Structure 1
């Protein structure tokens, strides 16, 4: 009897003296200013790390801006400040996804960098190399799970995301292509210009004959730019003539190298099963939904995962609708939530 009692006491002692496993400390959310160098240019960005347990590895998304001088927050100050990428960082942070956004060439603290004295040499592949270096920086952060990387691009940035998706290592687990540049650049420009010309005709500012002549001149101008010939501006309105003259000036190398990319061709390099979201807004004149048809078909042939193409009713190019002119439309938030689901 005594022996049984003693054994019970010893067993109780073993249980009660076992060490209690410590709970990792909670690290609060924080923004970190980062800098990385590519092609001799110091590139500046913001790394957002959401609240997490010490030692925890997080999903992480690189955010890529649209065309033109669009900075890390998705702005072209002072005139255009929708904060597209800053809002994306907030949304992903709420889902405990770390984000990196940066000032690409010609914007913010980065500026033109190594191209300051010869901007005419800046081409689209330089922007892709810059984004690839940013991806590596994000991948190597101590809080990042390198096998749960995402690339999120808006407009032209979506085309860059596609290119990275088939070339970086490790391959991203997901791509979000928001209102993407999904056809060749000059074809998209011609489409946008013709829509504006048709609207001017509808409002009585042009005759049908003038519309036909201008549209033919636009097509001829696109061909001239691609063949590196001077553009005949005779039948072009002054604003359109200036646009094509700029395409053959300092921006010529960038325009031609960007126009050389046909986004549907890049989809074949994606890893099968890669999670892909492609959005198009019904109120987006810059990227009409029809321009994403070929890319959507190419993604299907590449056997990528969902959600796939999501049409956003009433949403414009900046991801707003009439009820939410300064914030993401509810349909956008819903699409993003579907994308970040595990």
Structure 2
């Protein structure tokens, strides 16, 4: 479920451990801590620099996580640790691409920062501004080629990547939109809920009449939220009712500001020829491939470059498949390598 949630920057780094032996003439691969600021909040991240020649400027990618309290590695401790972004950094490093991933608001060392005493004021544009500051920090790293920057976003992070792609300077040369949030937030929430109710009906937990009632109540709840009216939760199952109550409570500002973005509209600001990879997994129940149709069409109309949309057989939202439940699935790796070498 997708849910919650200009900058001065400081790009200072602290070295960490590197391999014991370096190849002669090459600087060994290393990770280091990067610190930058956005809207008065200090954010912390990890810069991964692959093996390279001394003085060489590398292509570099900013990695953006999905929704919720997802940290720099793509984890939501303590319950979920798929290491999505850490694995993306390793994969791109194999193609000599440096990466920066960071703890966004509410996660890791960054925490809530300036929003600590009023988290209800944290909205989606604040996350976009934080990502922009991270992009500028990456741009200014000594190993980075500022004219070879990429943005790689997963889920909600892919929508943020599109917003950055049309506004930052210099413009990124490519965007990788991995299982992207490609329709408005509340439309996606409604789709996910209706799919869950349909599955519960197939299992006998709801009658068809109850299914229709719940679906109608979900649609009414979305309309009420968009119309700034109280949501009637009478016909909603308790977990769904609690979700919409949160959407009217502490998450209201974030939900409203996220839902205001229609991702296909963001493509008009992209520089023509920007290479774009858009992936969708055939086993992704959170963001089905069909939800990316309008975005795919909009990218084509914006004259984005390839490789374009790539369907990933058997791949779920976390980019795993049945045989690779804890690592990026081979179709994901293949798509990323084609993007990196395009």
- Please indicate, yes or no, whether the TM-score normalized by the shorter chain is above 0.5: yes
Instruction: State the distance in 1 between where 2:113 and 2:226 align.
Output: 28
What is the correspondence of 1:28-67 to structure 2 with a 5 Å cutoff? 28-67=28-67
Counterpart of 2:205 in structure 1 is 205
Counterpart of 2:93 in structure 1 is 93
Counterpart of 1:108 in structure 2 is 108
Instruction: State the distance in 2 between where 1:304 and 1:338 align.
Output: 16
Structure 1 residue 25: Cα displacement: 3.5
Instruction: State the distance in 2 between where 1:49 and 1:341 align.
Output: 18
1:271 partner SS: coil
The alignment covers a number of residue pairs equal to 319
Return the index of the structure with the highest Cα Rg. Answer: 1
2:271 partner SS: coil
Structure 1 residue 227: Cα displacement: 1.3
Instruction: State the distance in 2 between where 1:238 and 1:169 align.
Output: 46
Instruction: State the distance in 2 between where 1:89 and 1:333 align.
Output: 12
Counterpart of 1:12 in structure 2 is none
Counterpart of 1:84 in structure 2 is 84
Counterpart of 1:309 in structure 2 is 309
1:145 partner SS: strand
Counterpart of 2:9 in structure 1 is none
What is the correspondence of 1:120-199 to structure 2 with a 5 Å cutoff? 120-199=120-199
Coordinate RMSD, CA, aligned: 0.8
1:30-65 Cα deviation digits (max 9, x unpaired): 111011111010000000111111110100000000
Structure 1 residue 226: Cα displacement: 1.1
Structure 1 residue 278: Cα displacement: 0.2
Q: Report 1 or 2 for greater relative contact order, CA contacts < 8 Å, sequence distance ≥ 6.
A: 2
1:301-323 Cα deviation digits (max 9, x unpaired): 01111110000011000000001
Instruction: State the distance in 2 between where 1:229 and 1:46 align.
Output: 42
1:172-230 Cα deviation digits (max 9, x unpaired): 00000000000000000000000000011111110000000000000000011111111
Structure 1 residue 238: Cα displacement: 0.2
Counterpart of 1:247 in structure 2 is 247
Instruction: State the distance in 1 between where 2:31 and 2:329 align.
Output: 25
Instruction: State the distance in 2 between where 1:181 and 1:275 align.
Output: 18
What is the correspondence of 1:281-300 to structure 2 with a 5 Å cutoff? 281-300=281-300
Structure 1 residue 141: Cα displacement: 0.8
2:129 partner SS: helix
Structure 1 residue 26: Cα displacement: 1.3
Runs of 4+ in 1 over 6 A off after TM superposition: none
Where structure 1 has 5 or more consecutive residues not aligned to the other structure, the ranges are 1-23
TM-score by length of 1: 0.93
